[in-house]
Structure 1
């Protein structure tokens, strides 16, 4: 199992993971729009952002986005924000999510981050139990404003 930054060729596989959590979506059915291309290019070119993929035998089985945020809190240390965590629906339950998150946390630690934070939709109760099992604590309430 390899964790590494996603390549442009893997963009359809990442989008397929994000398209539906409950079923496997064929990456060949994904239309990569100009907006997706633009976003991927921006992420790829930003040293504080990365789309990471977990690859098993040339197949993308998981992904997440990590953003490294500088701040004045925690003694001026960076924090890692993890979003869009997904494991292929047919590969769940075998520890891949735990491995993906452990490796992402280690990557943040190696970068010098003082903490890792994430948000999760309130309806994703299974995901909340999963994050709690990894040691993440519910310490804040999050707010969003759609624009």
Structure 2
């Protein structure tokens, strides 16, 4: 398995993963909109953000996207000024779950954050995603905080 930064070529596959976590969507059927292009470019231009893909590497280039996540590095004064890593948009292809890919994806992301000097990795997960909660707990994540979100409508 290869964990690498997503390229523009990976964008349809990433959007397919994010579009439906219970079904495998064909990336060639995904419409990449202008807002997606802007967001992807902004992530790539920001040294504190990474859109990462897990690939199988069987074709030598690692172009078959099996999973993805976004890592955002947050500076802070707490924890003696250590950065923390925020994990978002974690997905593994529906037809490849149960084989340890999610655990490997998270292990590699944590390793990447540790190498950067982060003292903590954190994430949120929707309240209804109970299988995901069990998965994160198996990986050692603790339910240490209650999260809140406020939707800002235009």
Q: What CA deviation, in whole Å up to 9, does each residue of 1:58-79 have, x standing for no partner? A: 3000000000000000000100
- What residue in structure 1 maps to residue 46 of structure 2? 46
Secondary structure (helix, strand or coil) at the match of 2:112 reads helix
Structure 1 Cα separation of the partners of residues 66 and 85 of structure 2: 22
Structure 2 Cα separation of the partners of residues 79 and 3 of structure 1: 20
TM-score (norm 1): 0.99
Shift >2 Å, 4+ stretches: none
CA RMSD of aligned residues (A): 0.4
1:31-70 alignment runs, 5 A limit: 31-56=31-56, 57=58, 58-70=63-75
Structure 1, gaps ≥5 residues long: none
1:69-108 alignment runs, 5 A limit: 69-108=74-113
- What residue in structure 2 maps to residue 23 of structure 1? 23
**Count of residues paired in the alignment:** 147
TM-score (norm 2): 0.95
- What residue in structure 2 maps to residue 144 of structure 1? 149
Structure 2 Cα separation of the partners of residues 39 and 23 of structure 1: 24
Secondary structure (helix, strand or coil) at the match of 1:120 reads coil
- What residue in structure 1 maps to residue 117 of structure 2? 112
1:121-136 alignment runs, 5 A limit: 121-136=126-141
Q: What CA deviation, in whole Å up to 9, does each residue of 1:101-139 have, x standing for no partner? A: 000000000000010000000000000000000000000
